[in-house]
Amino acid sequence: MFYITVRAGQSITILINLEVFMAILRAGVLGGIRGKVAGVVGGQWKDKHYIREYVKPINPNTTAQATQRLKFKQISECLQFIVGPVGQQYMDPMLKSMSAWNWLIKKNMSCAGDPINYTALQVTQGNLWNPISMQNNADSATDQAVITFTTELGNGGLASDKIYAVAIGETTKIWGFAAAEVLRSSGTITVPVQLTSGEACSCYVFAARYVGSQVVAVANSTNARDNSAA
């Protein structure tokens, strides 16, 4: 704010050059930038600050962009219901700079389509040893999938590791979640899931390790598919 005093009988001309800067320095000159300055845009993704050239799209609705948006819609609709119970609960602790949602979408974008490539979907990622052999027996009469798996500890597995599973009916497109984790030694886990007779059912099984109540390691999920529910 400034003040100007003009005496009676005097005239004054004031030229003010105003420049508007949209960027904001969040933590001084050494901090990150958010917003636009001339041809540069600054922002933040998770814990990373970045700057990039500002590019105005010439055609924001090309065939390639429309295809990509459709794929994003398809895979988002498929995975939205497992973000909380699976993505956030069993997020690999090593993936510190990516949210569960972003990881799920990025990892599975290639599975988008009509129908979704359920066999290739992956719901968890990590280095923990996962059972290498499993069988899915899905039953539409009881609306459940019973998955049996091998109990070997493999490379670095522990008897105290837990096994969890989720399932989806590929026609109903409804997810089901096991009521609780089981120990590796159990060799079986049951997932309630709504099914129609003859419907394909994909289950995703993975191991998790806890320290107290904290998940410290997870395994890559493995697909166990029953091509035709009884």
**Mean of pLDDT over the chain:** 86
Domain residue ranges of the chain, discontinuous segments joined by + = 24-53, 63-226
**Percent of the chain at pLDDT exceeding 70:** 83
Q: What is the pLDDT of residues 118-175, one digit of tens each?
A: 999 999 999 999 998 999 999 999 999 999 999 999 999 999 999 999 999 999 999 9
Contact 77, 68 (CB under 8 A): no
Closest CA to 93 of 107, 103, 84: 103
Whether 28 shows a pLDDT value over 60: the answer reads: no
Element (H, E) at 100: helix 100-108
Contact 162, 175 (CB under 8 A): no
Residues 62-68 have a mean pLDDT of 89
Residues 52-77 have a mean pLDDT of 87
Cα gap 79→81, rounded to integer Å: 6
Tell me the CA distances in angstroms from 48 to 42, 97, 223, one per residue in order: 11, 8, 33
Tell me the CA distances in angstroms from 8 to 3, 4, 12, 162, one per residue in order: 16, 13, 11, 87
Phi, psi of 188 (to 5 degrees): -155, 150
In sequence order, the 6+-apart residues with CB closer than 8 A to the CB of 58 are none
Whether 24 shows a pLDDT value over 80: the answer reads: no
Per-residue confidence (pLDDT) for residue 156, from 0 to 100? 92
Q: What ranges make up the beta strands (E) of the chain?
A: 24-25, 33-37, 40-45, 48-53, 134-139, 144-149, 162-169, 175-177, 182-183, 188-192, 201-211, 214-218, 222-226
Per-residue confidence (pLDDT) for residue 192, from 0 to 100? 97
Per-residue confidence (pLDDT) for residue 43, from 0 to 100? 78
Cα gap 217→227, rounded to integer Å: 31
Residues 55-74 have a mean pLDDT of 86
Phi, psi of 189 (to 5 degrees): -145, 140
Q: Which residue has the higher pLDDT, 102 or 25?
A: 102
| 103 band by pLDDT with thresholds 50, 70 and 90 | very high
φ/ψ bin of 45: left (φ > 0), alpha (ψ from -120 to 50), beta (otherwise) = beta
What pTM was estimated for this model as a whole?
0.77
Residues 67-80 have a mean pLDDT of 95
What CATH number is given for 63-226 in this structure? 2.60.40.10
In sequence order, the 6+-apart residues with CB closer than 8 A to the CB of 83 are 100, 101, 104
| 25 band by pLDDT with thresholds 50, 70 and 90 | low
Q: What is the pLDDT of residues 186-226, one digit of tens each?
A: 999 999 999 999 999 999 999 999 999 999 999 999 999 99
